[in-house]
Each structure stands twice: as structure tokens, then as C-alpha cells.
A and B are shown apart, each in its own frame.
Chain A
Amino acid sequence: MMRVLAASLSMLLLLVAPLPAHHSHSATYDGERQVTLQGVVTRIEWVNPHAYLFVDDAESDGTVTNWAVEVGRPFDLERAGWTNTSLKVGEVVSVRGVPARSQSKRAFGASITRVSDKQQLFVVPAAKPGAQAKKEPTPRWPDGQVRLGPRPGEKGFWGRASAVGMVENKAGDIRMNGDALLFDLADADRVAPFRPWSRALYLFRQRNLLVDDPLSRCLAPGGPRQFQGAYGFQFVEQRELKRILVLLGGENRNWHPIFMDGRKLNTEELAASPTYYGTSSGRWEKDTLVVETTGFNERFWLGNGGLPSTTALRLTERFSRPDYATLRYEVTVDDARAYTRPWTAAWTVEWVPDREIQEYFCEENAETTFIR
């Protein structure tokens, strides 16, 4: 039986694990309401970016409605020991979740319990920063250079970032949800040194629950946002070709090169044909990879949460690997059209050992394939 509670349950969204996704979780689901369902599982879709259960919920008048219940990323679920056979079609579950803002019969499952044995299903423990880190030393090439990828013969990639949103280092603690929506919009002035128009645009997107996020249209996460994605990334160091390839796990599995041949970036030339990822030239400064990038277009958000940028954007990124399981990322944003001065943000990214990046193509997402 389905019940929708109108009680204020905004905190419920905060209790579930943050779900950086191709669509804004906050724009899709209504955190002010809660839904409870009970019924037979009719279908299980174990797909990226989110797995779904379909549940026949029976009303007291006998009406049966089929609900699509989102249960999280298969990658996270599998790391927690769940598979697509942990629950079988035909079993009865009870679901407590957050309903969609639209009238569609869709919900995010905050709690799913199998009725027959009362077992809670698809529970993913909250990530503990550093839990994966065995504090093993930084891996190096034979010449002593830091390796950005796995050791020879091993697997792994860079996974979840320590920060959901992108804020200036000196901003202090700014509370935001898993979509990088500010708890208090008054904090916007600490996020970055905005120009009036870029501040107004950022606030418009925040108030609009990020519904216009270009990622929801399967566009590329250019700039720093690529290192805050939910599906990870990896570096392929092609030393003989003097370049490093950055391979992204999510969205459209984009890639782009960091040229390590000492080339100078011709700003005017690159501005004539701007791209999502710009053109990057890198160099090693001791154990830190320093990457300068310019030639960006204006078709992406700089970070989760709706930060704008312009074609004047120039990034200086610093990548270091203080131990085997930690990537430290620092980026200085220089875009005088959008920001009053250069500003710097930083976060760390955790190493996912013994796994490969899962396949996920944005166009195959649930909204366009099996949720109608």
C-alpha cells in the first residue's frame, strides 16, 4: 500500500548517501515528502548510472500501480556485496523512499526491506575517507617519477572526490547537499569571487535545483568538474609519446590529452576553436604534475552546483599523490570575465583498488530507456 507523507522530510535526502549523478537528485526527487510502498518486485534493472527495482504497489481499493524505485549505483552496490541476484523478481519488498517531483510513479529508495526475512537490502555503508588507504607509498616509475595509475600488473582507478562541490579554499566550511546545493544561499559569496552576472546565474541555478545541468543533457563535464564525477577517471601515462591521457568513467566516457612535450599554449589561437576540455600542457615540478589549460568553450559548468565560466577561462591544475591511495587535486581558476580575481579550490580523490571503471553511457540512462 502506498502512502505519501506530506511531513517535512527534507533531512531524509541528507541521510542517504550523496548521489552525484547525470541528473540532479534534488531536481528529480522531492525531499519534502516520503512514500512507503509494499508489493511484489516485477523487474530489476541493474544498470548504470542507477539500478532500479519495479514494484507493484497495491492500494486499499485493489488498484495496483507499478513503481520504479531507484536504489543506487551498481558500482557502489557491488562494492557493498550486493548483486542483481540479491533480490529476485516475485519477492515482496517494503520500500520507504522519496517520491519524484513529477507525477510519475518513481521514487528513490532510502530503505528497502524483503518482507519474508526482514532483511534490509542494498545498504551501502557511508564512505569513510581514507578507509581504502593502506598508506602504501606513492608508486613510482623506475626513474623515480610518480605514477598516476596502478602499479604494473594491478588494476584500479580514481573514484570518489572528497568534495561534492567546488568552493574557494579560504571559504571555510560551506554546507551543501550531494548535488552541491547550498543549505544557505547566503554562502554563495564565499563559494567564489563572482562577478555580479556570474553570481546571479549561479544563484539562479541553485534556486532552480540545477534542473538545467548540462550533464543531464549528456554534455561533457569540462574543467575541474571532470574530477568530481561519480564514475571515476584514470590517467594513462604515455611517456614515449610525451602525453598523459585522462579517461573519464562516466557520462560519455570522454578522454582528453595532457601534452607533456613542453608546448606553449597560444591563447588567441585556442580561443578560435574552444572545446569542453580545452588544450592542456603539463610538466612535472618534483612530485607534482602541473597542468595549464585554456581554450575552453562555455558549454559546461565549472563544478557541481552550477559555477559558470567563459572562454577566457585558464586553469592551473596541480596533481600530486602523497600515498598510493590518495590523489590531491588543486585548481586555480583564472577567468576575469566571470570572477573578480583568480581563486583556488582543492580536494582529494580516493583510489579504487582492484577494479576497472564500469561502462556507462549517458544516453542509456533510465529516463530515456525504461522510465516512461
Chain B
Amino acid sequence: MRNRTFILLLLLSVLSWTPASGLAQEGHPLTGSWTGDWGPSPTERSNITLVMEWEGEKIGGFVLLGATSVPIVAVAVNVADWTVRLEAKGKDAKGNAIDVAADGRLENIGSAHRTLTGTWSQGTAKGDFKITRD
């Protein structure tokens, strides 16, 4: 468990050092690392990082909530309007269930720094989110 936490902290550290310029990503618009925040109000925000990657012929990945990694279990993209639904399920360090669901829309998909904005729910808490591809 300590090793896993160390790896996650290391990953967060690496992600935080990602150059602002970002890298081009011309394949699936969702793949890559995304950072941003969510919260129930403009003043109550929590940082979030999503890493989405190919898992076979599907998009998977994980959500980083602090030092907790929550696997993304479902990704659905409506390419007609680039709306996205994400679901992530896991457990925190104390073994409590974490259920995340996000519904958003991809914008500026031609840019390396495309964005995904929408609504976020985590357990009983609900709010909005905005993440930008690094």
C-alpha cells in the first residue's frame, strides 16, 4: 500500500511538472492526461486529474482524487456532439466506496489543450467540473 501511495505521489509530481506547452495528440480526443477541478460552488473546489488511455479497443484509465486512484470503468462518447459520460469506481484508503460520474462536453478538440466541462457527482455530492488536457 505504501508503495502504491508512493507511485501515485510520484505520478502526481510528474504530472505537475508537465510543460505548459503540452504535447500534440492527434488520435482519440480523450486520450492523455487531464487536470482541473470540480466542486459544488465556485469557492469550494477540489483538484482532479484524469488519465485516459487505450485499454484494448476501449478508452479506460483512472481518476486521481488526491492520492487515491479510482479506475474509470466506463467511457461513452457521443461523437455527434462530442458529449462524454465517465464513470469511475473504487475505494479510498479506508476502504470506503468512491463512485464518480461525470457528464461533459469536449470543446476545442483540435487543440492539444482541449477541454472537457460538465457536471460531476461523487457519492452524494454534486457540482461542476472543468479539466484541460495537459
Which A positions have Cβ atoms within 8 angstroms of B?
196-201, 204-205, 208, 211-212, 214, 217, 219, 298-301, 308-312, 336-338
Contact = CB atoms under 8 A, between A and B. Distances in A.
Contact of B79 (A196, A310, A312): A196
Interface in B17-62: 23-29, 31, 54, 57
Contacts of B98: none
Interface of B: 23-29, 31, 54, 57, 77, 79-80, 82, 109-111
B27 A298 contact: yes
Contacts of B23: 299
Nearest to A205: B110
Nearest to B110: A212
Contact of B29 (A197, A211, A309): A197
Given A211-B110, A310-B54, A336-B57, A197 B28 contact: yes
Contacts of A300: 24, 26
A337 B60 CA distance: 13
A217 B54 CA distance: 25
Contact of A219 (B24, B54, B77, B109): B24
Would you call the interface of chain B mostly helix, strand, loop, or mixed?
loop
Given A196-B79, A197-B77, A200-B79, A299 B24 contact: yes
Given A199-B79, A200-B80, A205-B110, A299 B25 contact: yes
B109 A310 contact: no
A208 B110 contact: yes
Contacts of A219: 24
B109 A309 contact: no
Contacts of B28: 197-198, 201, 298, 308, 310, 337-338
Contact of A298 (B31, B80, B111): B31
29 contacts: A197-B77, A198-B28, A199-B79, A201-B28, A201-B29, A201-B109, A205-B110, A208-B110, A211-B110, A214-B24, A214-B26, A298-B26, A298-B31, A299-B24, A299-B25, A300-B26, A301-B26, A308-B26, A308-B27, A308-B28, A309-B26, A309-B27, A310-B31, A310-B54, A336-B57, A337-B27, A337-B54, A337-B57, A338-B28
Nearest to A219: B24
A299 B26 contact: yes
A338 B110 contact: no
Given A298-B31, A336-B57, A217 B24 contact: yes
Contact of A212 (B77, B79, B80, B111): B111
Nearest to A337: B57
A301 B24 CA distance: 11
Contacts of B79: 196-197, 199-201
Contacts of A198: 28
A166 to B, nearest CB: 14
A201 B31 CA distance: 13
Given A211-B110, A337-B28, 6 more contacts: A196-B79, A200-B80, A201-B28, A201-B29, A298-B28, A308-B26
Nearest to B23: A299
Interface core residue of A308, A309, A337 (most chain B CB under 10 Å): A337
Contacts of B54: 310-312, 337
